[in-house]
Protein backbone atom coordinates (compact mmCIF):
# COMPACT_ATOMS: atom_id res chain seq x y z
CA UNK A 1 0.00 0.00 0.00
CA UNK A 2 1.44 3.28 -1.10
CA UNK A 3 -0.26 6.04 0.72
CA UNK A 4 -1.05 9.38 -0.78
CA UNK A 5 0.77 11.67 1.57
CA UNK A 6 -1.10 14.82 2.43
CA UNK A 7 0.50 18.11 3.26
CA UNK A 8 0.37 19.13 6.89
CA UNK A 9 -3.14 20.25 7.64
CA UNK A 10 -5.61 20.33 10.48
CA UNK A 11 -6.97 16.76 10.70
CA UNK A 12 -10.60 17.96 10.51
CA UNK A 13 -12.04 14.86 8.84
CA UNK A 14 -10.03 12.55 11.04
CA UNK A 15 -11.17 14.28 14.23
CA UNK A 16 -14.79 14.40 13.05
CA UNK A 17 -14.56 10.73 12.17
CA UNK A 18 -13.23 9.86 15.61
CA UNK A 19 -16.03 11.92 17.21
CA UNK A 20 -18.59 9.96 15.16
CA UNK A 21 -16.98 6.64 16.16
CA UNK A 22 -16.93 7.59 19.85
CA UNK A 23 -20.51 8.86 19.64
CA UNK A 24 -21.65 5.59 18.04
CA UNK A 25 -19.91 3.45 20.63
CA UNK A 26 -21.03 5.74 23.47
CA UNK A 27 -24.63 5.69 22.26
CA UNK A 28 -24.67 1.90 22.14
CA UNK A 29 -22.99 1.72 25.55
CA UNK A 30 -25.41 4.19 27.16
CA UNK A 31 -28.67 2.89 25.72
CA UNK A 32 -27.84 -0.80 25.96
CA UNK A 33 -25.75 -1.10 29.11
CA UNK A 34 -26.58 1.95 31.26
CA UNK A 35 -30.32 2.36 30.66
CA UNK A 36 -32.14 -0.50 32.38
CA UNK A 37 -34.17 -2.83 30.19
CA UNK A 38 -35.36 -5.19 32.87
CA UNK A 39 -39.07 -4.67 33.49
CA UNK A 40 -40.01 -3.15 36.85
CA UNK A 41 -41.10 -5.88 39.23
CA UNK A 42 -44.09 -4.77 41.23
CA UNK A 43 -44.90 -6.36 44.54
CA UNK A 44 -48.01 -8.33 43.62
CA UNK A 45 -51.06 -6.91 45.28
CA UNK A 46 -54.59 -8.15 45.76
CA UNK A 47 -57.21 -5.61 44.75
CA UNK A 48 -60.86 -5.66 45.66
CA UNK A 49 -63.28 -3.96 43.29
CA UNK A 50 -66.87 -3.35 44.36
CA UNK A 51 -69.35 -2.52 41.64
CA UNK A 52 -73.01 -2.36 40.75
CA UNK A 53 -74.32 -3.85 37.53
CA UNK A 54 -77.26 -1.91 36.16
CA UNK A 55 -78.55 -0.93 32.74
CA UNK A 56 -76.50 1.74 30.96
CA UNK A 57 -79.44 4.14 30.77
CA UNK A 58 -79.76 4.51 34.53
CA UNK A 59 -76.13 4.06 35.54
CA UNK A 60 -74.38 7.15 36.86
CA UNK A 61 -71.22 6.75 34.79
CA UNK A 62 -72.92 5.60 31.57
CA UNK A 63 -71.00 2.31 31.54
CA UNK A 64 -73.50 0.00 33.21
CA UNK A 65 -70.89 -1.31 35.62
CA UNK A 66 -70.36 1.37 38.30
CA UNK A 67 -67.36 0.93 40.55
CA UNK A 68 -68.41 2.05 44.03
CA UNK A 69 -65.10 1.51 45.85
CA UNK A 70 -61.68 -0.09 45.48
CA UNK A 71 -59.33 -1.47 48.11
CA UNK A 72 -56.01 -3.27 48.56
CA UNK A 73 -56.44 -6.46 50.56
CA UNK A 74 -53.65 -6.63 53.16
CA UNK A 75 -54.24 -10.20 54.31
CA UNK A 76 -53.99 -13.59 52.68
CA UNK A 77 -57.60 -14.69 53.13
CA UNK A 78 -60.56 -13.19 51.33
CA UNK A 79 -63.36 -11.60 53.38
CA UNK A 80 -66.36 -13.78 54.11
CA UNK A 81 -68.98 -13.57 51.40
CA UNK A 82 -72.70 -14.15 51.08
CA UNK A 83 -74.77 -13.64 47.96
CA UNK A 84 -77.33 -11.65 49.93
CA UNK A 85 -74.98 -9.21 51.68
CA UNK A 86 -71.78 -9.35 49.67
CA UNK A 87 -68.35 -9.19 51.31
CA UNK A 88 -68.21 -8.69 55.04
CA UNK A 89 -65.39 -6.19 55.53
CA UNK A 90 -65.48 -6.02 59.32
CA UNK A 91 -62.16 -7.13 60.84
CA UNK A 92 -60.59 -7.30 57.39
CA UNK A 93 -57.18 -5.65 56.96
CA UNK A 94 -57.49 -3.47 53.86
CA UNK A 95 -56.48 -0.06 52.50
CA UNK A 96 -58.72 1.96 50.25
CA UNK A 97 -57.35 3.70 47.22
CA UNK A 98 -58.79 6.03 44.64
CA UNK A 99 -59.78 4.30 41.40
CA UNK A 100 -60.02 5.83 37.93
CA UNK A 101 -62.24 8.89 37.59
CA UNK A 102 -64.62 7.25 35.09
CA UNK A 103 -65.60 4.65 37.71
CA UNK A 104 -65.36 1.88 35.12
CA UNK A 105 -61.68 1.47 34.20
CA UNK A 106 -59.60 -0.70 36.55
CA UNK A 107 -55.81 -0.38 36.58
CA UNK A 108 -53.40 -2.99 37.91
CA UNK A 109 -49.79 -4.14 37.57
CA UNK A 110 -48.79 -7.45 36.01
CA UNK A 111 -48.98 -10.17 38.65
CA UNK A 112 -51.82 -8.51 40.55
CA UNK A 113 -54.94 -10.36 41.59
CA UNK A 114 -58.32 -8.68 41.34
CA UNK A 115 -61.42 -9.81 43.18
CA UNK A 116 -64.65 -8.42 41.81
CA UNK A 117 -67.71 -7.98 44.03
CA UNK A 118 -70.67 -7.21 41.81
CA UNK A 119 -74.20 -6.41 42.93
CA UNK A 120 -76.73 -6.98 40.16
CA UNK A 121 -79.36 -4.27 40.34
CA UNK A 122 -82.82 -4.55 38.79
CA UNK A 123 -84.27 -1.10 38.10
CA UNK A 124 -87.95 -0.28 37.69
CA UNK A 125 -87.35 1.42 34.37
CA UNK A 126 -89.21 0.72 31.15
CA UNK A 127 -85.90 0.60 29.25
CA UNK A 128 -84.78 -2.55 31.03
CA UNK A 129 -85.80 -5.59 28.97
CA UNK A 130 -88.81 -7.29 30.54
CA UNK A 131 -88.47 -10.74 32.01
CA UNK A 132 -84.66 -11.08 32.08
CA UNK A 133 -83.09 -12.86 35.01
CA UNK A 134 -80.18 -10.49 35.45
CA UNK A 135 -77.04 -9.13 33.83
CA UNK A 136 -74.19 -11.21 32.48
CA UNK A 137 -70.45 -10.96 33.18
CA UNK A 138 -67.35 -12.05 31.33
CA UNK A 139 -63.68 -10.96 31.31
CA UNK A 140 -61.58 -11.40 28.16
CA UNK A 141 -58.09 -10.46 27.10
CA UNK A 142 -57.63 -8.31 24.00
CA UNK A 143 -56.66 -11.39 21.98
CA UNK A 144 -59.96 -13.03 22.89
CA UNK A 145 -58.96 -15.54 25.57
CA UNK A 146 -61.52 -15.87 28.36
CA UNK A 147 -60.42 -15.13 31.94
CA UNK A 148 -63.85 -15.25 33.57
CA UNK A 149 -66.36 -17.39 31.71
CA UNK A 150 -69.83 -16.11 30.96
CA UNK A 151 -71.92 -15.96 34.14
CA UNK A 152 -75.46 -14.73 34.74
CA UNK A 153 -75.69 -12.19 37.57
CA UNK A 154 -79.16 -12.79 38.98
CA UNK A 155 -80.88 -9.58 40.04
CA UNK A 156 -80.70 -8.65 43.70
CA UNK A 157 -77.65 -10.81 44.49
CA UNK A 158 -73.93 -10.31 45.03
CA UNK A 159 -71.40 -12.22 42.90
CA UNK A 160 -67.66 -12.56 43.28
CA UNK A 161 -64.89 -13.48 40.84
CA UNK A 162 -61.14 -13.62 41.47
CA UNK A 163 -58.67 -13.33 38.58
CA UNK A 164 -54.87 -13.15 38.51
CA UNK A 165 -53.52 -10.93 35.71
CA UNK A 166 -50.02 -12.21 34.91
CA UNK A 167 -49.48 -10.39 31.63
CA UNK A 168 -49.58 -6.70 30.81
CA UNK A 169 -52.26 -5.65 28.38
CA UNK A 170 -55.77 -4.34 28.15
CA UNK A 171 -58.57 -6.63 29.24
CA UNK A 172 -62.28 -6.08 28.92
CA UNK A 173 -65.19 -6.97 31.15
CA UNK A 174 -68.69 -6.78 29.78
CA UNK A 175 -72.32 -7.76 30.13
CA UNK A 176 -73.27 -10.89 28.23
CA UNK A 177 -77.07 -10.74 28.47
CA UNK A 178 -79.17 -8.36 26.41
CA UNK A 179 -80.50 -6.09 29.16
CA UNK A 180 -81.42 -2.81 27.44
CA UNK A 181 -80.78 -0.88 24.25
CA UNK A 182 -77.57 0.35 25.80
CA UNK A 183 -76.37 -3.22 26.40
CA UNK A 184 -73.42 -3.06 23.90
CA UNK A 185 -72.02 -0.13 25.91
CA UNK A 186 -72.21 -2.07 29.17
CA UNK A 187 -68.51 -2.73 29.42
CA UNK A 188 -65.34 -1.47 31.00
CA UNK A 189 -61.64 -2.12 30.66
CA UNK A 190 -58.89 -3.44 32.90
CA UNK A 191 -55.51 -1.90 32.07
CA UNK A 192 -52.63 -4.04 33.29
CA UNK A 193 -49.25 -2.34 32.87
Partner 1 sequence: MGKPGLAAQTRKKAGVLDPIIALLRWIWDRLERTLLLAVKIVFPSRFISPLGFLGMLTVIVFIILGVTGALLLFHFQPLFGDCPPAAANTSYVPSPTCNQAFNSVASINNQVDWGFLIRNIHYQASNAMVLLAVMHMFYQYFAGRYKLRYEMLWVTGIILGVITVIEAYTGYDLIFNIRGQLAINIGQTLTYYSPVIGANLANIIFGFSFNDLAIRFYAFHVFIIPIIMLAIMSVHLPKNLVLDIPVSSAITGIILIMGGLFPVEVGIRYDPNQLTQITFPEWYFTSLYAFIRTKGLQPFIAGAIIPAVFVLIFLLVPFFDRGKKIAMIDRPFWVGLGAAALGQIAIVTVWGFRAGNPFQVLQSEDQLLIDPVLFAASLLLATALGYGFVYAFVKWRKAKIEALRAAKKPLPYRRVQPYLLSRGEVFSLLGGLLLLQGFLDFSIFRAFLATLNNFALIEIGMVLVAFAATVHIYRVSSQVK
> Which residues make up the interface to partner 1 (CB under 8 A)?
1-9, 11-14, 17-18, 21-22, 24-25, 28-29, 31-33, 37, 136, 138, 140, 144, 146, 150, 174-178, 184, 187
Cα distance between residue 167 and residue 173, in whole Å: 16
Tell me how far, at minimum, the Cβ of 17 lies from partner 1, in Å: 5
Q: Considering beta carbons, is residue 71 or 116 the nearer one to partner 1?
A: 116
Tell me how far, at minimum, the Cβ of 30 lies from partner 1, in Å: 11
Q: Considering beta carbons, is residue 113 or 151 the nearer one to partner 1?
A: 151
Q: Considering beta carbons, is residue 71 or 139 the nearer one to partner 1?
A: 139
Q: Considering beta carbons, is residue 13 or 95 the nearer one to partner 1?
A: 13
CA 18: distance to chain centroid? 49
Q: If you write DSSP's letter for every residue of 126-175 in order, what string do you get?
A: TTSPTT--EEEEEEEETTS-EEEEEEEEETT-EEEEEEEE-S-EEEEEE-
Distances (CA, A) of 156 to 84, 162, 174, 186: 8, 20, 18, 18
Amino acid sequence: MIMQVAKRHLPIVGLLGLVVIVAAAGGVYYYQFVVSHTPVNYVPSHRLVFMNATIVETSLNGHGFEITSTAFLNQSTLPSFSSAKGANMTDVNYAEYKGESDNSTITAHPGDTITFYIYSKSVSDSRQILGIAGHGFEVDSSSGSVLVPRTTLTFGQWFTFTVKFSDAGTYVYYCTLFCSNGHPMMRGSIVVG
